[in-house]
Amino acid sequence: MRTVTANGIEYLQLVHNEWVDGRSKTRVLYGFGRKSELDLTALERLAQSILRFVDPDAAQEIRERAGLEAPFEFLGAKTYGGAFVLDAMWQRLGIKRALSKSLAGRGFAAPIERVLFALVAHRAIDPGSKLAAETWVKERAFIPDLPGVEVQQLYRAMDYLLEAHDEIQRDVFWSVRNLFNLEVDVLFIDTTSTYFEIEGEDDDEVSDAGGEDDSENAGASATDEGVEPDAAAERERRGLRKRSKNSKDSRPDLAQAVIGFAVTKTGIPVRCWVWPGNTVDATVIDEVKRDLNEWKLDRIVAVMDTGFNSEANRKTLQGAGDAFIIGEKMRLGKDGKPPEALKRPGRYKTLANGLRVKEVIVNKGSVTARRFVIVHNLDQATRDQEKRDDIVRETERRLANLQQLDGKAHHKATCELRAHGTFGRYVRQTKGGKLAIDKAKIATEAKLDGKYLISTSDDHLSAEDVAMGYKQLHEIERVNRDLKHVVDVRPVYHRKRERIKAHVLLCWLALLLIRVIENETHETWHNLKNITWPLMVGQHRTQHGLISQSSTPTTDMKRVLDALNVKPPKRYLELPRPQKA
C-alpha cells in the first residue's frame, strides 16, 4: 500500500514491486481513491479475506503484526449447569431481590449481589478458598453478568453480607415460607462446630482497634423473658476462635467456633448463628429465642436435644405462648440412676412404624407438673444389648487376666480397669477388695435398652406427635453433616470475627439453595451436580465482540429443570452490541 499526492489530495493505492530488466519497477494493482473517503472497515474485510489463502500460522502472525482481529476465535468453555440451577433458585427465593433492595443507594462499584451469588455457588459446587473463588469465576464457571472478580471485591461483599444479615435472613425466611407454604410452627435447633487451621486462639476481649468487635450487635442481647441481659453481649466481646475439650469435630487441639441452625421439618435451614468455640449449648437459648421472636411468628415449637435442657431454658422456650420438645438425660447424678419418669408404670402404644410410646405425667396437678414421653425402639434395644454383651465379655476377659498378675503389675492393671470409660462401668469392688462384674448395673442398663426420654410443654400434642417430632431431629443432623462434607465449612482460615461469620452465612445460603433444590427434584445434590455438569457455555471472540453460547441441555437436565419449574437457558447469553453510527 502506498499514498500518493496530487493537487494536494492524498490517494491510496495497492502496488506491487517487480524486477524488470534488472531494475525494480512499481506496478499499480488497484486504486482505492481518496484516502480521506476510504471505508476502513471494508479494507479490513478485504485483508481478512486475502488471509484465508495464507498458511493459518503465518496468517495469525500477520494479523497480530497488523493489529487485525480474527473473524472468529474460540476462547474456551465454562461450566454453567450448577450455577444456572442455583441462580434460578436464588432468584425464585427472593434472595436477589432482598439484596438488591438492601443495596439500593449504597454506591458500590462492584456488583455486590452477583459477587455474593458467585461465592455461594462456588461454595455449593466446588468449595474452596476465596482466592480459589476468584480463579473459579474467571476461568472455570460462567456467572451471568460477572465475567471476573477480584479477591478484594469478594471480601467487600462478605463484609456487606454480615452487615445486612439480619434483614436478609428474615426476608429469605418469609420468602421460603410463602413460596412453599411451609409449616414452620415446628423448628429444630441444634449446634455443630468448625475448626481453624491456626496456632493458638483469640483473646477474650476483642479490641475496636483490631476492627473485629461487632459493636452494633454487642448491645442487642437484652430480652423480655427475664434472661441475663449481658449473655449475648459477653459472647460478642469474646473472640470466636476458642479451644474446647468438648469439640464436636474431635479436635480439642484446634480452636473452633460453634454454629447453630434452625431447620424446618423438611430440612430447610432458615436461620444460623455463630458463637465462640467454648460456648455451651445450654447458654444460647435466650439469644435463639429472641432472634426467632423478632420474626413475629404465630407460635413456635422448638425441638432440641438433651444438651440444651435446663430449667431456665425450658422456661424461656415457653415464653410468648411457644412450646418445646426436648431430650432428657437417661441417667442422673454420679450414680447414673434413671429419672423418675422412667420408673413410672404404664402401657406402651405401638405406632405404625414399630416404635412404642408411653406418656408419663410427673407431679400431676402441681405447678411443677411435667409431661414426658418414653419412646422404645425394639431394633435399637437389640443393638444395645448386643453391644453391652460384647463389652461385658471383654470385661470378664480382663478380670480373668488380673488373676495372672501380682504385686505392682496387678495393682496398676486393677486401677486402669476401674478407671476405664467403657469397661469400668460394669465392674464393682467387693468387700474383700477384689473386682467383679457388677450384675446389678447390667440389669439396670438392660431396662434402658432402646429407650429415650422426651419432655414437652405442649399439652395438645399427642404422644405420637411428640415422639415423631423429636425423631425428625435427624434432619438438622443431616444439615450439620452437609455443612462439613458438602459445602466444606471447615477448616476456616479467616482471622477476623466478621469474616468468620460471613463465611458461615455463605455456607448457610449454599445449604438453603441445595436443600430446596433437593426437595423439589427428589435428587441428592451429589447426583444433581453430575446431571447439571454437561451444560456448558462456549465463548467466542469475533471482530464485533464476545459471543457466549450455551450447549443443549441433556434429557436428565431437562427433567431437573421441569421439576424446578425453570425454563432452559437462552441459547445466546452474550452477543455483541451493534455500534452506533
β-strand 323-328 against 301-304: which pairing, if any?
parallel
**Residues linked to residue 328 through DSSP beta bridges, in sequence order:** 453
- Kindly state whether residues 280 and 205 are assigned to the same domain: yes
Would 210 be classed as within a structural domain?
yes
Confidence label for 411 from pLDDT (cuts 50, 70 and 90): confident
Task: Tell whether the model's pLDDT for residue 224 goes beyond 50.
Answer: no
pLDDT score recorded for residue 49: 76
Express as a percent the part of the chain with pLDDT over 70: 89
Task: Tell whether the model's pLDDT for residue 215 goes beyond 70.
Answer: no
- Kindly state whether residues 198 and 257 are assigned to the same domain: yes
> pLDDT tens, 121-151?
999 999 998 889 999 999 999 999 999 999 9
- In Å, the largest CA–CA distance within the chain is 132
Would 310 be classed as within a structural domain?
yes
Query: What's the grid cell of residue 499?
Result: 469474616
> pLDDT tens, 170-201?
988 888 888 877 766 789 999 999 888 776 78
Asked if residue 162 lies in contact with residue 502, where contact means CB atoms within 8 angstroms, the answer is yes
- Kindly state whether residues 400 and 256 are assigned to the same domain: no
> pLDDT tens, 510-563?
999 999 999 999 999 999 999 999 999 999 887 777 889 999 999 999 999 999
Would 390 be classed as within a structural domain?
yes
Please name the helix (run of DSSP H) or strand (run of DSSP E) that holds residue 2, with its range, or none: strand 2-6
Three-class DSSP labels, 429-442 = ECCCCCEEECHHHH
Helices within 136-198 (DSSP H only): 151-163, 165-180
Query: What's the grid cell of residue 15?
Result: 502496488
- Kindly state whether residues 440 and 473 are assigned to the same domain: no
- Kindly state whether residues 269 and 221 are assigned to the same domain: yes
- Kindly state whether residues 325 and 440 are assigned to the same domain: no
Average pLDDT for the chain? 86
CA geometry: angle 153, 159, 161, nearest 5 deg? 105
Would 129 be classed as within a structural domain?
no
- Kindly state whether residues 188 and 265 are assigned to the same domain: yes
- Kindly state whether residues 278 and 224 are assigned to the same domain: yes
Domain tally for the chain? 3
> How far apart are alpha carbons 241 and 532 in whole angstroms?
37
Question: CA 394, 396, 397, 401 torsion: positive or negative?
Answer: positive
Write out the residue range of the structural domain in which residue 249 sits: 182-330+461-518
pLDDT score recorded for residue 66: 64
Which CA distances in Å does 579 have to 357, 428, 536?
75, 91, 28
- Which SS3 state, helix, strand or coil, does residue 463 take? helix
> pLDDT tens, 87-117?
999 999 999 988 988 888 888 888 999 999 9
- Kindly state whether residues 290 and 232 are assigned to the same domain: yes
Would 239 be classed as within a structural domain?
yes
pTM metric for this prediction? 0.78
Report which DSSP code applies to 125.
Answer: H
Would 500 be classed as within a structural domain?
yes
**Between residues 67 and 544, the one the model is more confident about:** 544
- Kindly state whether residues 196 and 317 are assigned to the same domain: yes
Task: Tell whether the model's pLDDT for residue 52 goes beyond 90.
Answer: no
Would 248 be classed as within a structural domain?
yes
- Kindly state whether residues 293 and 406 are assigned to the same domain: no
- Kindly state whether residues 323 and 192 are assigned to the same domain: yes
Residue 513: CATH number of its domain: 3.30.420.10
Would 89 be classed as within a structural domain?
no
Please name the helix (run of DSSP H) or strand (run of DSSP E) that holds residue 387, with its range, or none: helix 378-402
Please name the helix (run of DSSP H) or strand (run of DSSP E) that holds residue 34, with its range, or none: strand 23-34
Closest alpha carbon to 212 in 241, 189, 186, 232: 241
**Residues linked to residue 188 through DSSP beta bridges, in sequence order:** 263, 303
